[in-house]
């Protein structure tokens, strides 16, 4: 289940690391299979951006104005956008490619709707996260705090306070912020968040779960104006027939 969860989490969306590793291993495309969370590419310590992070001080401290400014821009984008509807493509640790639509309604509500032939659904209702597999006729429920995709769920995000910043790198097209979250199920998860350099919009993320499985999620056609129906975030408690 650990694998399944981590895949889900990475998915954008986020992404969720499940408790049982066997169940995760069975996980479908973006489910909780432990596909290593979205390519968490941590910036090499030799790069100027990575070196800008003072690893000898508290994780919440960003050493330079450039790195600090990039983190603040990312925080501002997250906090200014309480809703999101976006297409996503997910690539798991096994190289399997899945796609679908991601819905976010802060605080705490998220849905990864996978396109056929995937049989998974990942839904966060504000308190819990459910991973439902129609093919296996299973549903696993976890606490939202166990997932590494908190940046998609929190009403107010502060990456430097909520996580440990491992590195920041920038070029003409993108800004990549690498972080570590020690509060996820099973241990620390590492994430690499990629933002558009001009608009600061989130474009991609990679999650590497505690087991080392990596999942990459890429967003496109993102709509920040539409408000998803709350009905999309209801966890189905009915048993499979």
Per-residue pLDDT tens digits for 183-209 = 776 678 899 999 999 999 999 999 998
Q: What is the pLDDT of residues 158-170, one digit of tens each?
A: 999 988 999 999 9
How close are the terminal C-alpha atoms of the chain, in Å?
Answer: 22
Q: In 3D, which of 159, 152, 158, 156 has the Cα closest to residue 233?
A: 152
Q: Considering only CA atoms, which of 213, 13, 237 is closest in space to residue 130? A: 237
Share of the chain above pLDDT 90, in %: 51
| Structure token digits, residue 116 | 């056929």
Please state the pTM of the whole predicted model: 0.75
Structure confidence at residue 98 (pLDDT): 95
Q: Is the pLDDT of residue 143 over 50?
A: yes
User: For 148, which DSSP code?
Assistant: S
Q: What is the mean pLDDT of the chain?
A: 77
Mean pLDDT over residues 130-148, rounded? 86
How many other β-carbons are positioned within 10 Å of the β-carbon of residue 75? 20
Token digits of residue 241: 């027939």
Q: How many CB atoms lie within 10 A of CB 125?
A: 18
Q: What confidence tier does 144 reach under pLDDT thresholds 50, 70, 90?
A: confident
CA atoms within a 13 Å half-sphere pointing along the CA-CB vector of 11 = 44
With 0-12 / 13-18 / 19 or more C-beta atoms within 10 angstroms meaning exposed / middle / buried, residue 158 is: middle
Phi and psi at residue 55, in whole multiples of 5°? -75, -5
User: Confidence class of residue 239 from pLDDT cuts 50, 70 and 90?
Assistant: low
Q: Which CATH superfamily is domain 2-229 in?
A: Lipoprotein localisation LolA/LolB/LppX (2.50.20.10)
Q: What angle do CA 41, 164, 149 make, to 5 degrees?
A: 65
2 φ, ψ to 5°?
Answer: -60, -40
Question: Of 41, 83, 16, which Cα lies nearest the Cα of 226?
Answer: 83
The string of pLDDT tens digits covering residues 17-73 is 332 222 223 333 323 333 333 332 333 333 333 444 444 444 445 545 488 999 999
């Amino acid at each position: 289940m650990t694998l399944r969860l981590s895949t889900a989490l990475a998915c954008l969306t986020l992404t969720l690391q499940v408790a049982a590793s066997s169940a995760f291993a069975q996980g479908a495309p973006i489910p909780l299979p432990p596909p290593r969370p979205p390519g968490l590419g941590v910036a090499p310590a030799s790069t100027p951006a990575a070196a800008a992070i003072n690893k000898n001080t508290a994780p919440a401290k960003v050493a330079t104005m450039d790195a600090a400014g990039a983190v603040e821009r990312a925080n501002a984008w997250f906090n200014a956008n309480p809703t999101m509807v976006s297409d996503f493509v997910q690539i798991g640790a096994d190289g399997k490619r899945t796609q679908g639509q991601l819905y976010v309604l802060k605080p705490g509500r998220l849905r990864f709707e996978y396109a056929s032939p995937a049989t998974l659904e990942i839904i966060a209702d504000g308190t819990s996260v459910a991973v439902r597999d129609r093919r296996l006729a299973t549903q696993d429920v976890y606490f939202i705090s166990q997932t590494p995709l908190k940046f998609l769920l929190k009403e107010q995000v502060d990456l430097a306070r909520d996580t440990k910043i491992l590195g920041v790198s920038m070029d003409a097209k993108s800004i990549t912020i690498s972080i570590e979250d020690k509060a996820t199920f099973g241990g620390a998860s590492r994430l690499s968040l990629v933002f558009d350099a001009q608009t600061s919009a989130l474009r991609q993320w990679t999650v590497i779960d505690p087991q080392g499985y990596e999942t990459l999620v890429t967003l496109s056609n993102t709509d920040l104006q539409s408000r998803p129906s709350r009905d999309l975030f209801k966890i189905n408690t009915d048993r499979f027939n």
